[in-house]
Amino acid sequence: MRLSFQSHIPESLKDLVLELEQSVLNGRLPDKDTLGRLPERAVFGSPLLLRAGSVRLILEGRLQEAQEWLQAAIKGFALQADHVEMLSMIGLLTLLNVRIGDFHETETLLQFLEEETLRYGEGCGGFVWWALARGRCWTRTAPILQTLSTDEYFANAADRFREAGDDTWFAYLLLDRWLYGADDMREGEWAKRIGDLRKRAALHPECGAVLSILGGAEPTEEELMRLPSRYAYMVSTMSGQGTETAGPPVSDLRYDVEVQLFAARANVSRKLASGERSDAALSLRQMELLLEEMSTPRTSVWLDRLKAEIGEAIACVPPIAPFSVHSDGLSAGAEPRPGRLRIQLMSGIRLFGPDGAVVPPKWKRRKSRELLVYLLLQPDYRALRDQVVGQLFGEGEPSKLANHLYVSLHELRNTLAEIGFEDAIEVRGGLIGFRESVIEVVDVEQYMTLSRVGDQLWADDKEPSAMLYMDAVRLYGLLGADMPNVDWIERWRSQLLERQTVMLRRLGEYYAGLADDSHTEQWLSAWIELRPDQEEAYQAMIRYWKERGRHAEAVGWYKRLERMCRDELGTEPLEETKRLVWGV
């Protein structure tokens, strides 16, 4: 490994830079204050310092800055023809990209690293194998990494760090493997590796902290302070007390997908403990969306357990309307958090400030409003730039489409700023979306969450499922009612209509099973009103009254169906419906 090119370093700093580089070669990270005092030109002129600085930034949770430094380090080592170090930095960059869900070129990088391990496995360092292990956790990248299992990739990473004498990253790799799924680390090779970690614990405080956690001890504040911020946060949420007290991740950690999984789990548990079942369902849905991308044995077990807990909690309390639409706007059972927007997209677009008052934005361009709605319908209120362009602006010359997007983004930012939400939209890593601190809740998101959790509970426990369905159906309205002639929104409208139909049918079925005449008629009537073209809705109503021995009510609903068919469709009811009423 080479020291830096002297031509890149100011004369007055050469001795200090060489001293810091030697420290890196000796396996020590430079003091962050000393590194911070160096001008950027000096650091970016030294691949070794860029490597050390990247690691330091990652440990401090400054992930976006670390990306830039790693990219510069890769170029620096490439210029020095140091293939091993270049591969190592590509591995670390890929590992970082995978964790934060930045897939710009990441699939290509993973394929490249996989090929390098097949061609020259012994020369690939721990970060290369670690990146591949994490790449296997992602739904979209797992299919391209089929050479080894996730655990084999982890094992190779651990052994490379151990062989290189990199005790700190050896410890963090073991901790990462434990967070991935701890049950199979008590025996075999993983138990031996933990034994090796024990030998290093006396010399390295961070190794001692990891060893204590792997042993099952409750981490102390001192031990958590020895860990990188991402691990400290995830470990702190593991205990019962941590689950109750953990707040949202800070700094760039909020872009770390696995950290968000742990945060969502803590959020669900905290909401359940305080009786906020609808908010718990929202957090559970966020966790499910994240698990569609990255799933580990530990987080999958959590999801199943939390689903059961939410079902039990819902069964113990009466239904509520968490986000109701009134003539004067949206209201909610819970107090809104300060400085955040609550947004209604169904039955017309309306934005509500922290005090519950409507904050009317002024739109100059239709596409700016479309962009707002489109982003709010995406998971985490973010979407890939190319996806946004394709959906909202269609096909055409790339430069013109990019300009249309820029203009719409500019107006959307200004419009939100005018109503008190500065810097609400960010563009980062090929993603466009809202900053995490801006949105309190969107009615469509809450509607979908309540409905989906209700679906999951329906087969096994219909009572809590029906409670969630009732919360959801009250939110329903035409999506973007004030946005006519928008092609891409029609797919969303159809999906919401079908979902509302299913819930109303199931609510009718649930109360019919209880022989509750009033509620059965209420929900079956709502189904008929929503979908007057669906004759099966009338059939369900007629069948219920026939089974209850109330023939007059059954005939009355048949007459309504008959009028609708004659006046609106120019047809008559199906023969099976006639037989249902008259028995012939």
Average pLDDT, the chain: 82
Residue 5 pLDDT > 50: no
Per-state percent for the chain, helix, strand, coil, to nearest 5: 65, 5, 25
Output the pLDDT for position 29.
Answer: 62
Lowest mean pLDDT among 139-148, 336-345, 525-534: 336-345
| C-alpha torsion 156→157→160→163, nearest 10 | -90
pLDDT digits (tens, 9 = 90+) for 117-132: 998 888 899 999 999 9
Domain 322-505 falls under CATH 2.10.109.10: no
Report d(CA 244, CA 236) in Å as an integer.
Answer: 10
Single out the residue of 371, 368, 337, 330 nearest to residue 352, CA to CA: 330
Confidence (pLDDT) at 127? 93
Residues 6+ apart with CB under 8 A from 435: 423, 424, 425, 426
Instruction: Give whole-number Cα distances, 304 to 263, 453, 483, in Å.
Output: 16, 12, 39
pLDDT attached to residue 318: 40
pLDDT score, position 544:
93
Sign of the CA dihedral with 547 first, then 552, 555, and 561 last: negative
* pLDDT classification of 7: cutoffs 50, 70, 90: very low
Q: Which of 158, 162, 107 is nearest to 136 (CA)?
A: 107
Transcribe 516-581 into DSSP letters: -HHHHHHHHHHHHHH-TT-HHHHHHHHHHHHHTT-HHHHHHHHHHHHHHIIIIIS----HHHHHHH
| Vertex 183 angle, CA 181 and 188, to 5° | 110
Q: Which of 303-317, 522-536, 545-559 has the lowest mean pLDDT?
A: 303-317
Q: Which helix (H) or strand (E) holds 177?
A: helix 167-180
Whether pLDDT at 359 is above 70 = yes
296 pLDDT band, cuts 50/70/90, is confident
Closest C-alpha among 178, 135, 136, 186 to residue 158: 178
In angstroms, the Cα distances linking 560 to 55, 465, 520 are: 71, 31, 18
Of residues 209 and 14, which shows the higher confidence score? 209
Contact 63, 57 (CB under 8 A): yes
Q: Which one is predicted more confidently, 460 or 572?
A: 572
pLDDT-based confidence at residue 373 (cuts at 50, 70, 90) = very high
Domain ranges of the chain: 240-315, 322-505
Q: What was the pLDDT predicted at 8?
A: 53
What is the structure's pLDDT at 182? 64
User: Which of 278 and 517 is assigned the larger pLDDT?
Assistant: 517
Residues 404-437 have pLDDT tens digits of: 899 999 999 988 888 888 888 988 877 898 987 7
Of 416, 417, 437, 433, nearest to 425 by C-alpha is: 433
Q: Which helix (H) or strand (E) holds 326?
A: strand 323-326
Answer with the residue of higher pLDDT: 52 or 546: 546
Which long-range CB contacts under 8 A does 13-16 form with residues at least 24 apart? Answer: 13/38, 13/39, 13/42
Tell me how far apart the alpha carbons of residues 249 and 226 are, in angstroms, rounded to a whole number: 18
- Which pLDDT score is estimated for 325? 38
For residue 479, the 8-state DSSP code is B
Average pLDDT estimate for 86-103? 84
Residue 103 pLDDT? 63
Tokens describing residue 196? 């090796």
- The pLDDT of residue 86 is above 70: yes
Q: Is the pLDDT of residue 19 over 80?
A: no
Query: What is the pLDDT at residue 25?
Result: 63
pLDDT at site 112: 92
List pLDDT tens digits, range 323-348: 443 333 344 344 444 568 889 999 88
Q: How confident is the model at residue 510 (pLDDT cuts 50, 70, 90)?
A: very high
For the whole model, what pTM was predicted? 0.60
pLDDT number for residue 41: 67
Q: Which pLDDT belongs to residue 157?
A: 95
pLDDT of residue 219: 86
Tokens 């299992």 -> residue: 149
Q: What average pLDDT does this structure show over 349-362?
A: 79
**What pLDDT sits at residue 504?**
95
Q: Sorting pLDDT into bands at 50, 70 and 90, what band is 183?
A: low
Contact 61, 229 (CB under 8 A): yes
The pLDDT of residue 161 is above 80: yes
* pLDDT at 43 > cutoff 50: yes
